[in-house]
Amino acid sequence: MDLSVIIPAYNEKESLPELLSRIRQVAEEQRYTYEAILIDDGSTDGSWEAIAALAAADPAVRAVRFRRNYGKSAALYCGFERAQGDVVFTMDADLQDSPEEIPEMYRMVKEDGWDLVSGWKQHRQDNKLTKNLPSKLYNATARCITGIKLHDMNCGLKAYRRDVVKSIEVYGDMHRYIPNLAKNAGFDRITEKKVVHAKRKYGKSKFGMERFLNGFLDLLSLWFLSTFGKNPMHFFGYSGIAMFFAGFVMTVWIIAAKLIHQAQGVRYRAVTDQPLFYLALVAIILGVMLFLAGFLGEMISRSNADRNRYNISDEL
């Protein structure tokens, strides 16, 4: 099979027939063998009935229905599990992503050898204040932390080599950082393509401003796990050494200053009357606690069943 198109849908009843019609038209024009996998993420507007009718009329349409709303990451995870195409596409169900971009992105994966091609909505049709400006800030932060030079990391329209989607695990809200998950799995041939971004035709956006704060927190979590996930002691150990050393230096300073003043016959405050004493005490305690956290992290990491799971590309 040439390609799989995974479409998470949450209350997008009106847009689904048009979207699938456009995907079918592109596939027929390019003579692709394809499948469209629709994931109903707990819709309450009758989307499942519309999906069931579309699946009954077209054997290329497959569908999965969640009992409740789990989120986009869960939908993509289930879609990736079921995808059989050589090139796997993800696309939002709101008609803002254009199926007409499929042929060029497919060519970039199959002929140019890219592992992942991400869409770049250079000219967004969203509200500039609530969507465009926060999105630019978010993407700039993501580029700095991940090192992946994409202008629109969270674009819903992406094309993947099948090996990529079978080698990564999308969970929580990590759908925003699939390029980084792919990079951590060893798929570093990642690029982008400028794509058309259309105005929403039906319904309204399902995402609010809170997604930007959540996205930033998820980015920090992903950075920590990718950097220190296999060796948590490297983070907690360095932090513990720094805190313990700072507390030790402050303690030595206090004691030395007291001894010097006593030798000179100069009146000096008691050690326990000085704020620096308590700062030193807190620093030493935190240093020890960070060390203990590192040891616990190492024990958990070593007992993890995936500790020796590696992605192997070739074997002779």
Q: Mind listing the pLDDT tens digit for each residue in 75-124?
A: 999 999 999 999 999 999 989 899 999 999 999 999 999 999 999 987 77
pLDDT of residue 316: 47
156 C-beta neighbours (distance < 10 Å), count: 21
Sign of CA dihedral 92, 98, 101, 102: positive
pLDDT of residue 49: 93
Token couple for 55: 């699946």
Do the beta carbons of residue 75 and residue 39 sit within 8 Å? yes
pLDDT of residue 119: 93
Low-confidence residues of the chain: pLDDT under 70: 125-132, 134, 203-215, 226, 229, 301-302, 304-316
> What CA–CA distance (Å, rounded) separates 46 from 186?
41
pTM above 0.85, yes or no: no
Do the beta carbons of residue 87 and residue 2 sit within 8 Å? yes
Own/partner pairs for 291-294, CB < 8 Å, 24+ apart?
Answer: 291/236, 291/237, 291/240, 291/244, 293/232, 293/236, 293/240, 294/232, 294/233, 294/235, 294/236, 294/237, 294/240
pLDDT of residue 208: 55
pLDDT of residue 202: 74
pLDDT of residue 264: 83
Token couple for 158: 């992406």
Tell the CATH superfamily of the 3-228 domain.
Spore Coat Polysaccharide Biosynthesis Protein SpsA; Chain A (3.90.550.10)
